[in-house]
Structure 1
Amino acid sequence: MRTICLLAIGWLLSFAGHAAGPATIAKVNRQLWQEPVNTTAGFDKASRAAILVYAQSLQAMQKLSDADMKAAFKIKTVNRTSANKWLNKELALSLRNYQSAAKNCGAGDWTCVGHPASTADLLKHAGNFGASIPATMIQWHDNLQQFSRAYIAEQLRLAALFPTVSSEIDNFNDREWNGDDFADRQFLLTFDDGPTKAHGDSDEVLQMLAANRKSAVFFILGENLQKRLTATDAKTLAELYKGQCVASHGWEHQSHAKWADWQDSITRTQSLLASVLPKRGSENTGSYLPFFRPPYGQRKADSGPFFQQQGLQVALWNLDSQDWNKQVTGDEIIDRMITLMLIKRHGVLLFHDVHPKAKTALPVLFSELGNAVMWRDCDQPM
């Protein structure tokens, strides 16, 4: 274990993050997994293998010191309690996810390593997993291990900064959710930052979803909605989101943890949304949902009473596509999201309808996953 820890530290010190975000984004080559994942059995087998690699990487990261994380992430302080909480939560989720994926294990399946009843059992099996991997899958294993460590570094950095810098990494109260509690193999699509100008990326994303018979929650910026409303009318705008759901992303895309006018940002956007969309959609319009997604996931730790007074829930996410990031191509988004869905097995996917990558990546993702997962209807996100 000491050798694994030293390797993790050496790799992590090359991560070179900074205060605004990680400099290196986790990437993976899904093609190295040589079997389809478009059935429940195929998805579960790939999921079992991915979870074991992920759990071993989590164990290695648990050994990192505060000094290691400060140097790797280029941050001044580390909230060790928060970092440990996230690592322990991920291990607990990994145990639950492996147990779900192992329900249809068959004899002779190299991804089936027994029936772990605790995280200690899971880590023991994960530590021995390497010996059972077929020679043809060694490249897959090494690639996924690199991805797992890079992804854990992305998330561990957020945990180390929380709550001084708030994010999607943890909740402040029971009116906040991120998809960790969804049922097995259930996923919700969400999009941030729209709408764009008419006939822009937002319109094309909506057309793509309609063509694929999928729904999503669109977290809209009030100022963008007002601009679009000025150029058209409320009826046309409501029809644009036919079959979809709309919620608030605030008036402007800035941190609602630091902005003096954050409460006004939320109430102004809520009023505008309510004037354009009904609370429950008909067949011809979209639905307005009483949710708020904070830009960057940043909100004040003591904002719970305000959201309760407004009748709002804070809707976060646990599967970040990074589709806004210039470092990540459309193909890399598909690789990343399918891999994370295999590891996480349920949750909220974050995309942005003001960028072009989602509209081409998602149809491929839908096709490759087939009937292996269930896409939740946007009217029932919880």
Structure 2
Amino acid sequence: MVVLASIGACAITINTVDPARAATCTGYVGLTFDDGPQAGSTPALLDALRSNGLRATMFNEGQYAAANPSLVRAQVAAGMWVGNHSYTHPHLTQLSQAQIDSEIGRTQQAVAAAGGGTPRLFRPPYGETNATVAAVAAKYGLTQIIWDVDSQDWNGASADAIVQAASRLTNGQIILMHDWPANTRAAIPRIAQGLAARGLCAGMISPQTGRAVAPA
């Protein structure tokens, strides 16, 4: 934390990430948040991540990226990576190849049009995939990303339970969280503290290996 100015008894401060912190990382984990961007949750989530020095991969739904382009840009401005989470969050394995192509392709376009770049990572809704889904993802140059740890935040997990789930992460692993639960936002400061205590840092997910690595 850096003190910018002192006025009377009050100091104006800003949280910064120590550039030397990367040297203390003994491993990297992938924090992922599905189902954004949403006006009611994304800004607060980004604030929580940024104020705790964390970066994450945001698996956006195309319909929300198209409706909230400013929030996609805010994700990028906050240092996050943006991935593809389909357009309407269907059960892709129950769809035809053409329908799967539409879900994935439209999301690629929506994210790019909103300023999020062209995604290189794809998370199938519900983690459901098959050979057809994999083939369509590959057509768009996407690497499918599932997860190693499920925070269960989508299932009403408490902040304590989410923190506990994150404590199971090891080097290279990925945790599933979501954009919208208040308990997830509440857990972020303790997730950051827990990772730091174990020498782990929040990394990017490699499109080559699908594992968390040092940010490029």
TM-score scaled to structure 2, two decimals?
A: 0.75
Matched, 1:331 2:160: yes
Residue among 263, 268, 282 paired with 2:101: 263
Q: Which has the higher contact order (CA 8 A, sep 6+)?
A: 2
The CA distance in 2 between the partners of 1:369 and 1:215, in whole Å, is 13
Structure 1: where are the runs of 5+ without partners? 1-182, 280-287
CA distance in 2, matches of 1:362, 1:224: 23
The answer for the alignment partner of 2:44 in structure 1 is: 204
Q: How many residues align?
A: 181
Is the 2:36–2:180 Cα contact (8 Å) retained in structure 1? Answer: yes
Partners of 1:251 and 1:332 in 2: CA distance: 29
Corresponding residue for residue 87 of structure 2: 251
For 1:275 and 1:332, how far apart are their aligned partners in 2? 37
Helix, strand or coil at the partner of 2:30: strand
Are the equivalent residues in 2 in contact too, given 1:184–1:346 (CA < 8 A)?
A: no
Is the CA contact 1:206–1:241 (under 8 Å) kept in the aligned structure 2?
Answer: no
In structure 1, distance between residues paired with 2:35 and 2:112: 18
In the alignment, residue 312 of structure 1 is paired with which amino acid?
L
Taking a change above 3 Å as real, the CA distance of residues 379 and 186 of structure 1, as seen in their structure-2 partners, is closer
1:219 aligns with 2:59: yes
Question: Which is higher, the Rg of structure 1 or of structure 2?
Answer: 1
Shift of residue 278, structure 1, vs aligned partner: 5.3
Q: Which consecutive residues of structure 2, in runs of 5 or more, have no partner in the other structure?
A: 1-24, 207-211
Alpha-carbon shift at residue 301 of structure 1 (Å): 2.4
Which secondary structure does the structure 2 equivalent of 1:303 belong to? Answer: helix
Deviation at 1:319, TM superposition (A): 1.0
Q: What are the residue-to-residue correspondences of 1:162-201 with 2, within 5 Å?
A: 185-197=27-39, 200-201=40-41
Q: Deviations over 1:119-174 (max 9, x none)?
A: xxxxxxxxxxxxxxxxxxxxxxxxxxxxxxxxxxxxxxxxxxxxxxxxxxxxxxxx
Q: Is the 8 A contact 2:56 2:80 kept in 1?
A: yes
Amino acid at match of 1:196: Q
TM-align CA RMSD: 2.3
> Which has a greater percent of strand?
2
* Alpha-carbon contact 1:189-1:375 (below 8 Å) kept: no
Distance 1:240 1:368, change over 3 A: closer
Take 1:189 and 1:346, find their aligned partners in 2: how far apart are those partners? Answer: 11
* 1:306 aligned residue (115, 136, 141): 136
Question: 1:240 deviation in Å?
Answer: 4.3
The one-letter amino acid paired with 2:184 is A
- CA distance in structure 2 between the aligned counterparts of 1:303 and 1:312, rounded to whole angstroms: 11
